[in-house]
Structure 1
Amino acid sequence: MLKSLIKKSIFIIILILIFSNLLISAPAQLRVSGTNIVRASDNCQWRLVGVNICGLEWDSTGMGPPNGSGGNMSQSVSYAISNWKSNCVRIPLNQDFWFGYRGANQTTYRSIVDNIVSTASNLNAYVELDLHWSGTGSWGTATGQQNMFDNNATQFWQDVATRYANNPAVIYNIYNEPHDVSWSVWRNGGSAGSFQTPGHQSIVNTIRGTGANNIIVAGGLGWAWDMTGIASNALTDTGSGYGIAYEAHIYDNKGGSTMQDKINLWNSNVTVAVTAGYCVIIGEFGPTTDGGQDNSGCTPFESELINWINGNNPRSYRYSAMGWCWHTQATPRLISDWNFNPTSCHGTQVRNWLAAVPTPNCGGQSGTATFTPSRTRTRTPTASRTSTITPTPTRTSTPTVSRTVTVTNTRTPTPTYTRTPSSTYSSTATRTNTPAATNTWTGTATRTVTATLTRTNTQVITSTFTMTRTGTPTYSRTNTPYYSATQTPTGTQPTATITFTSTQVESATRTATQTSTLTNTLTETPSFTQTATTSATSTSVWTGTWTRTNTPTITSTRTVTGTSTATRTATTSYIWTSTPTLTQTASSSQQPTLALTPTYTETPVMTSTQTTNQKPAISDVVIYPNPYNSKTENLKIKFYITQASNNIKIRIFTTGYRLIKQIIFADKIYNPGTIILNIESKNLNNLANGIYHIIIYAINSDGEESRSKPEEFILLK
């Protein structure tokens, strides 16, 4: 019994030792030494290679399998390290989400980041935490990439640095892509246009003030492309810090008409900092940012760039580097789906490159170290969930259905006479119905028409006929007239039945009086039903406005006795049948002259009641002025919305649909109809010249979101 108890005790102690070692297991502590990253314990040279796993900058629930938004980012991290052989992943962050602004759950957001760090650390890999989206001086404004970080970034880095202080797996990237400020402002702070920035040196001091000695990374100017000012504006670290590296981003849109021109620019803009003695990381790289190589053949650009990264440069310098982006839509894309299949060009080349990069030959346990943080902290992440939601970014278009209405009139008169009226019009009507809507329309039109006909040997028949329609139809008519009209409605049209009966009896001289009353009732759900009844003259209700006046003249020079029947059918979801019956009796041996001047006036009265449970639909978007100069005036966006909204977002994307700016209008209820938003130029001053896409998002009171089609605008300063 005693022996058994001892054995069990020894087994439990061994298990405790194993699991306690796992809890504090981490990759080797690294530091910056001159132009290189080395292992702190023995100065063995280290090279960080991997991918950007994006999503947390624009979606507070993260992006990953199985369906994108709200997916498991730790699964992406694990696959990128274990299967693609990354030893570092770069994670873009949003300072608003970190503190629970703009609808984010602060606890959930931080737990996602904690899980990413622990996943990478347990796999002996590193995580670069990148402040990707900062604000413009107030909380809730981190909706895109500003030209610099604002003062709230100080609080962000104080909190993040404290949370991961001296965790050897974590590297701090102060800000993603600074641009359009001077090197002095970049380093020491000052005006960044519409807001103040504390500058990079201040953030270094903030991080070190928490006791965190982690490696710090700072991106160069020109969207992290211009490293020419690093030597004269280098940041100062403390004696205990593990050093500062500088970061460049390289894409195939940085200039150069030939491949050699591009290589020369890489050397003059990036390698120049290495030559000056500073450590440089390529934090993002890829082909065209519009995703062109995701869907077409590869170009020499990326293979040449990877060769250059691997040491084929004037310094024979092997850069640490991370490809953009581990996402199915954010271009250039590394993966084509959430099963992590690589895209045919960019993804395949990066995966093959990572597999071929040799592991640092430093001996020991593959870089595994045991560390004791300066603060004792036990983290128990709770953000484990399974969700199925729509991936972001998503583009949705409201379909427009077009139908052609063909109306054919067939008239068979008994008398022998010729009518040759000629009238031309074209009609276009557009109606848009969004599915899942229930619309109820009730229309009542009442009209009384009195016609008086006097006829002698030369008889004149006058009839009044008015239709209100936008357009000009074309029809021609002889003894068997033919009528043609074209409409392009959108949606489901009503069904209407009209019965028309007209009887005229005439002698040599007589007077005929006609009276008609018409009541139409129309119900739309969104299919329409229209019923009309008339005894002499027909009236129809249309959801458009059109006007037609026909003045045919009919001349006959003999006795006319006969009956004519005309049938008109519209071949859309309208069913319109009119059956007029005309009886004429005249006693004359000569050929009379008949003049017919119809003038038909239709004035429907409609009462509508609309009930809907649909999402707000956005259409008729107009951006002006376009091209736009942010230095001279504000940008206006005009659009039509079908339902009230209490939150409208304007999101601005690059041509590769990379989100760089979001502007929120939530100051009031926006009622259905035409809306004009005024975007102040200060929100756009930080954007570079170029072509951008704007998508409008609207959220109704039920939290349902709809969006417009992408609209292009050009920014010229």
Structure 2
Amino acid sequence: MKKIFLMLFLSGLLSIPAFAQNTDWVAQNGRLKVKDGKIVNSKNVPPQLRGISLSWSIWQGRKYYNPQVVSWLQSDFNINLLRVSMAVQPDSGYLQQPAEQEKLVVKTVDAAIANGLYVLIDWHDHHADQHLAPSKAFFTKMAKRYAGKPNVIYEVFNEPEKIAWQTVKDYATQVIAAIRKYDATNLIIVGSPTWDQDIDVAAKDPIKGYENIAYSFHFYASDPNHQEVLMKKADEAIAAGLPIMVTEWGVGEANGNGEFNLEKTNNWLAWMERNQLSWANWNITDKNETTAILQPGASIKGKWKPEALTPAGQYIRTQLRKLNH
């Protein structure tokens, strides 16, 4: 950890930029849509949103699902995109406690809207194809509530495991149909096999018949298995005209821990900038892990001082304050 802090200090990443100015990003960009293989704003320009993902809405990350944290992320970290990662299958997740999870999600999404943010409603599930009925029921409620709110983006399947693209596609198509009964326009994000890495496979056979559908791509910047080969998959999908959003990425490795390699992380960040890809970094929790933004015991009300942030938190905060303008 000391080595990481030293690297960040020497590279100027521990300096504190001028305080971020409050911006209503949605008023500025309007409703997102897909045009010519890219996610664009109301002026047909890629907005390149940058933000943070809340952690699973259970376990340690749950306590940060509140309006104070959302406001602090907007005003201090200068995010313009928040990902709300509703846990589905684990104990206390949506399958066991649907009313409680829905209430938590709605409270957090409403706070994001009040702060002028775009917000991803993420069905955070590795086996969503096995939970089609509850997924359709949940997204039907969300579409009824948020139709007409340009802030809202629906992410219908977080990280399918090693299953066939056709299985993901069949599931997603049915959930999309449920959403489109009530929300005809808001952006919908679809996952791809192998934890959102086989984006090139989706690019060869994308969903047809619906507008404003994009696809998620995930990587962990320091993971030795998430380097040139994985980047090439995404490059192929982009070249094929597939609209992509990086709905989750971390500075560490795929298990959430491991090394924080500054060079590899900067390389991936530069790649997203070159391709004008919107992204949400993983994650707001105080767990003792490489990708956690917060040190153990960080306040549940935001207002974190620099020492309450991990090396990942210091890095991501600095990048967001620099890049979102």
Q: TM-score band, normalised by the shorter chain?
A: 0.7 to 0.9
Cα distance, 1:109 vs structure 2: 3.6
Q: Which structure shows the higher helix fraction?
A: 2
State TM-score, norm by structure 1: 0.37
**What CA deviation, in whole Å up to 9, does each residue of 1:510-558 have, x standing for no partner?**
xxxxxxxxxxxxxxxxxxxxxxxxxxxxxxxxxxxxxxxxxxxxxxxxx
Aligned residue for 1:171, secondary structure, equals strand
Distance 1:91 1:39 in 2: 21
Q: Which structure shows the higher strand fraction?
A: 1
Q: Hey, what does 1:345 align to over in structure 2?
A: 311
**Pairs within 5 Å for 1:380-529:** none
Aligned residue for 1:322, secondary structure, equals strand
For the structure 1 residues 148 and 169, does the alpha-carbon distance in structure 2 shift closer, same or farther, using more than 3 Å as the test? Answer: same
* Higher relative contact order, structure no. (Cα contacts within 8 Å, ≥ 6 residues apart): 2
Aligned residue for 2:199, secondary structure, equals coil
Aligned residue for 1:92, secondary structure, equals strand
Query: Does residue 75 of structure 1 match 2:68?
Result: yes
Give the length in aligned residue pairs: 289
Is the 1:27–1:125 Cα contact (8 Å) retained in structure 2? no
Distance 2:181 2:45 in 1: 28
For the structure 1 residues 278 and 330, does the alpha-carbon distance in structure 2 shift closer, same or farther, using more than 3 Å as the test? Answer: farther
Query: Does residue 90 of structure 1 match 2:90?
Result: no
For the structure 1 residues 44 and 201, does the alpha-carbon distance in structure 2 shift closer, same or farther, using more than 3 Å as the test? Answer: same
Q: Hey, what does 1:167 align to over in structure 2?
A: 149
Of residues 296, 303, 316, the one that matches 2:266 is: 303
Q: Hey, what does 1:273 align to over in structure 2?
A: 237
Range with greater deviation from structure 2 (333-342 or 244-253) = 333-342
Aligned residue for 1:213, secondary structure, equals coil
Cα distance, 1:200 vs structure 2: 1.4
Query: Does residue 202 of structure 1 match 2:171?
Result: no
Q: Hey, what does 1:217 align to over in structure 2?
A: 189
For the structure 1 residues 253 and 74, does the alpha-carbon distance in structure 2 shift closer, same or farther, using more than 3 Å as the test? Answer: same
Cα distance, 1:228 vs structure 2: 1.4
Is the 2:38–2:241 Cα contact (8 Å) retained in structure 1? no
Aligned residue for 1:29, secondary structure, equals coil
Q: Hey, what does 1:245 align to over in structure 2?
A: 214
User: For residue 193 of structure 2, what is the amino acid of its counterpart?
Assistant: L
Of residues 35, 38, 49, the one that matches 1:36 is: 38
Distance 1:27 1:244 in 2: 18
**What CA deviation, in whole Å up to 9, does each residue of 1:156-202 have, x standing for no partner?**
222222222231111000110012211222212xxxxxxxxxx2112
Q: CA RMSD in A?
A: 3.0
**What CA deviation, in whole Å up to 9, does each residue of 1:5-35 have, x standing for no partner?**
xxxxxxxxxxxxxxxxx9xx89722212123
Distance 2:264 2:162 in 1: 27
Distance 2:129 2:98 in 1: 25
Cα distance, 1:304 vs structure 2: 1.8
Distance 1:298 1:84 in 2: 22
**What CA deviation, in whole Å up to 9, does each residue of 1:410-450 have, x standing for no partner?**
xxxxxxxxxxxxxxxxxxxxxxxxxxxxxxxxxxxxxxxxx
Cα distance, 1:47 vs structure 2: 1.3
State TM-score, norm by structure 2: 0.79
Q: Hey, what does 2:21 align to over in structure 1?
A: none
Cα distance, 1:148 vs structure 2: 3.6
Instruction: Give unmatched runs, 5+ long, in structure 1.
Output: 1-21, 65-71, 134-144, 189-198, 257-261, 312-316, 360-717
Query: Does residue 356 of structure 1 match 2:322?
Result: yes
Distance 2:102 2:46 in 1: 32
Distance 1:237 1:125 in 2: 29
Distance 2:92 2:176 in 1: 19
User: For residue 78 of structure 1, what is the amino acid of its counterpart?
Assistant: S
Give the structure with higher Rg (CA).
1
Is the 2:217–2:248 Cα contact (8 Å) retained in structure 1? yes
Aligned residue for 1:127, secondary structure, equals strand
For the structure 1 residues 298 and 345, does the alpha-carbon distance in structure 2 shift closer, same or farther, using more than 3 Å as the test? Answer: farther
Q: Hey, what does 1:639 align to over in structure 2?
A: none
**Pairs within 5 Å for 1:557-568:** none
Distance 1:335 1:132 in 2: 21
Q: Hey, what does 1:323 align to over in structure 2?
A: 281
Distance 2:112 2:29 in 1: 9
**What CA deviation, in whole Å up to 9, does each residue of 1:346-369 have, x standing for no partner?**
22111111111143xxxxxxxxxx
Query: Does residue 123 of structure 1 match 2:105?
Result: no
Q: Hey, what does 2:246 align to over in structure 1?
A: 282
Moved beyond 4 Å, runs of 4+: 95-101, 252-256
Aligned residue for 1:285, secondary structure, equals strand
Is the 1:90–1:322 Cα contact (8 Å) retained in structure 2? yes
User: For residue 281 of structure 2, what is the amino acid of its counterpart?
Assistant: G
Cα distance, 1:211 vs structure 2: 3.8
Cα distance, 1:298 vs structure 2: 4.8
Cα distance, 1:149 vs structure 2: 4.3
Cα distance, 1:319 vs structure 2: 1.3
Is the 1:117–1:169 Cα contact (8 Å) retained in structure 2? no
User: For residue 214 of structure 1, what is the amino acid of its counterpart?
Assistant: N
Aligned residue for 2:154, secondary structure, equals strand
For the structure 1 residues 86 and 181, does the alpha-carbon distance in structure 2 shift closer, same or farther, using more than 3 Å as the test? Answer: same
For the structure 1 residues 237 and 59, does the alpha-carbon distance in structure 2 shift closer, same or farther, using more than 3 Å as the test? Answer: farther
Aligned residue for 1:45, secondary structure, equals coil
Cα distance, 1:204 vs structure 2: 1.4
Aligned residue for 1:318, secondary structure, equals coil
**What CA deviation, in whole Å up to 9, does each residue of 1:283-315 have, x standing for no partner?**
11111234334xxx754221222122221xxxx
User: For residue 250 of structure 1, what is the amino acid of its counterpart?
Assistant: F
